[in-house]
Chain A
Amino acid sequence: MPENIIQVEGLTKCFGDFTAVDAITFTVKKGEIFGFLGANGAGKTTAMKMLIGLSKPTKGMGSVAGFDIAKNPEKIKKRIGYMSQKFSLYNDLTVKENIRFYGGIYGLDKKRIRSKTQSILKELNLNDVAGTLVAALPLGWKQRLSFAVSMVHDPEIVFLDEPTGGVDPHVRRQFWETIYEAAALGRTIFVTTHYMDEAEYCDRVSIMVSGKIEALDTPENLKHQFKAKTMDEVFLKLAR
């Protein structure tokens, strides 16, 4: 049985009187593609920010890659990658400079940065635009580059916060192919989305409704459990 790389128990985050995340409990296995689903405002991003050390939990416990999220957030940061829903590469740097910068602040040495740059440019077919400012790239390319850069330090887990927002279905499909490639290398993928069709691509999904996890299983089992044909139907039944 594979070990649990993420373990969360009763994790809660309150902003004043408002409870954004309400005592959620779940585990993610090593190597899994874990879909973290929910409507806008259900608390997905807040929950994820507690896991990656951007937000302090109000209550509850959690560990990521073997470290406590409240006590050792900086140790976790070495082992995880993160791609936020806001595009977060530097638009005024070139493709190459962005890779070098993020490689550099993750503490990679020069040689490693050079080889990483080459492999990313090759995999994403970006060799022709290596010296182009990122601002000039189409959104779909930016997102794939951003995903690749979030893994520049070979993290064990990658957290993706609505990575495919704002692009057409074709580009979304392409993006998911790169996610599969990353998972094939043994990386754990933790991905939030509100596109229910994307849920079908995940090994297991959890569905969050107003701060609580209402369902957690494989897409197949969930459809069976809720007597639904698609994940969309499952979601609509839960949200009601």
Chain B
Amino acid sequence: MNVLRYLIQKEFIQIIRNKALLPMMTILPIVQLLLLSNAASNDVKNVNLVLIDKDRSQTSRLLRNKIEAANEFSIVSYATNNSEAMPYLQANEADIVLEIPNDFEREYFRGEAPDLQLLVNAINGQQATVGFGYLNRIIAGFNGDILENGSMAQMSQTAPRAMIQIASRNWYNPELKYTHFMAPGILAEITALLTIVLTAMNVVRERELGTIEQINVTPIKKWQFILGKLIPFLILGLVILTVGIIASKLFFDIPIRGSVTLVFGYAIVNLVAVLGFGLLISNFAETQQQAIFVAFFFVLIFILMCGLFTPIESMPKWAQYFTIPNPLAHFISVSRKVLMKGSGLADIKMEFIYTIILALVFNSLAIWSYKKQQ
């Protein structure tokens, strides 16, 4: 036990003396939080539209006014025909071209259900679908308005008489603030990421300097060495997490509905898993470059497949299984559930179980693959 104390003491002295580490632990998380939470947004706030009104009637003007009044759209141009509108799509300046056909008003009141043509620029699928959705809602609303409006005497047979109104309320994030959704995820991501890289680099650095050889000729036990690295970096990870939570509360006023103790309790298990993974990488790397490249490879997969940017539920089935050995996916899920929904221990049971298994597997492999002898 005493040996372990000296290992941890030495690691902390080195951490404190390392001038690059302190800013890395404080400024980096804050910058990432501010930048990513705001910028890496899936919100579609502005859809660029080209309008072709071939009808130029009272009814088509009504529809135009409605679209112009909607916040989500900005009209890039009023074209008179398709060939005028196409260059905007080509140049990516417009997301949607809406064409109101010639006999729109006449057909509408005859009950012939005129066709509106929508050309959607689907290069950005997200923008396209969401924009299409907004526009659909407006057109449906327009339909309803006219039906309600008694002045229109000749009501069509085909137009629906009564519309079903769907009133939705957004739970857990009522204002649909994207930062509230992103910040808890990014918090988890930064904590895991920094600790993986820091541990992987740390052990390899000792190998490069030759100090690890000096430690290997002492009667130190393998588990002592691994724990001696794990504990200081675990504490480091918790510091980063604390900085991150305080920053997210200050800058984004993220809701903290569940127990912070639960988040930290889970974070400890998760960090043990992640650190074990970092140590595992370091055992196979001879130089810091190698360690960074391998860590980068895995971190990239972890981040893109953790549900931070794309929901795990919309991944193909086989890819969803790959998120099980991804400690980051569980961390983000716990962070969002506990902070935003106020989930308790029972709700994050599965994440806990998976993470404990990962922690055991990664650390056993790290101890096993740490060779005192060549």
Residues of A within 8 A of B (CB): 49, 52-56, 73-75, 77-78, 80, 82, 84, 86-93, 97, 100-107, 109
Contact = CB atoms under 8 A, between A and B. Distances in A.
Contacts of A97: 10, 13
Interface stretch (B151-159, B180-188, B207-215, B310-318): B207-215
A82 B217 CA distance: 7
A102 B216 CA distance: 12
Contacts of B18: 92
Given A92-B17, A93-B14, A105-B215, A86 B209 contact: yes
A90 B214 CA distance: 10
Contacts of B217: 52-54, 77, 80, 82
A107 to B, nearest CB: 6
A106 B214 contact: no
A105 B374 contact: no
Most-contacted residue by chain B among A78, A88, A97, A100 (CB, 10 A): A88
Residues of B in contact with A, size category: 20 to 34
Contacts of B17: 92
28 contacts: A54-B213, A54-B216, A54-B217, A56-B374, A73-B372, A78-B219, A80-B217, A82-B214, A82-B217, A84-B214, A87-B210, A88-B209, A90-B10, A90-B14, A90-B211, A92-B13, A92-B18, A93-B10, A97-B13, A100-B6, A101-B6, A102-B214, A103-B6, A104-B2, A104-B9, A105-B7, A106-B219, A107-B219
Interface of B: 2-3, 5-7, 9-10, 13-14, 17-18, 209-211, 213-220, 372-374
A11 to B, nearest CB: 15
Given A86-B210, A106-B219, 19 more contacts: A52-B217, A53-B373, A54-B372, A54-B374, A56-B373, A75-B219, A77-B218, A78-B219, A84-B213, A86-B213, A87-B210, A91-B209, A93-B14, A97-B10, A101-B6, A104-B6, A104-B7, A105-B3, A105-B220
Nearest to A159: B217
Contacts of A106: 218-219
Given A77-B219, A80-B217, A105-B215, A53 B10 contact: no
Nearest to B225: A105
Nearest to A52: B217
A236 to B, nearest CB: 31
B286 to A, nearest CB: 14
Contacts of A52: 217
Nearest to A150: B214
A146 B232 CA distance: 26
B210 A88 contact: yes
Nearest to A74: B219
A73 B210 CA distance: 20
Given A84-B210, A93-B14, A100-B6, A105 B373 contact: no
Nearest to A13: B374
A78 B217 CA distance: 9
A6 B2 CA distance: 31
Contacts of A88: 209-211, 213-214
Contacts of B7: 104-105
| 8 smallest beta-carbon distances between A and B, as pairs | A104-B6, A86-B210, A88-B214, A82-B217, A77-B219, A101-B10, A88-B210, A78-B219
A49 B373 CA distance: 9
Contacts of B218: 77, 102, 105-106
Contacts of A100: 6
B373 A54 contact: yes
Nearest to B217: A82
A119 B126 CA distance: 72
A103 B2 CA distance: 11
A92 B168 CA distance: 60
A192 B69 CA distance: 87
B210 A55 contact: no
Contacts of A82: 214, 217
A109 B372 CA distance: 24
A106 B3 CA distance: 8
B3 A107 contact: yes
Contact of B13 (A77, A93, A102): A93
B215 A49 contact: no
A88 B160 CA distance: 84
Contacts of A89: 211, 214
A46 B216 CA distance: 15
A84 B215 CA distance: 11
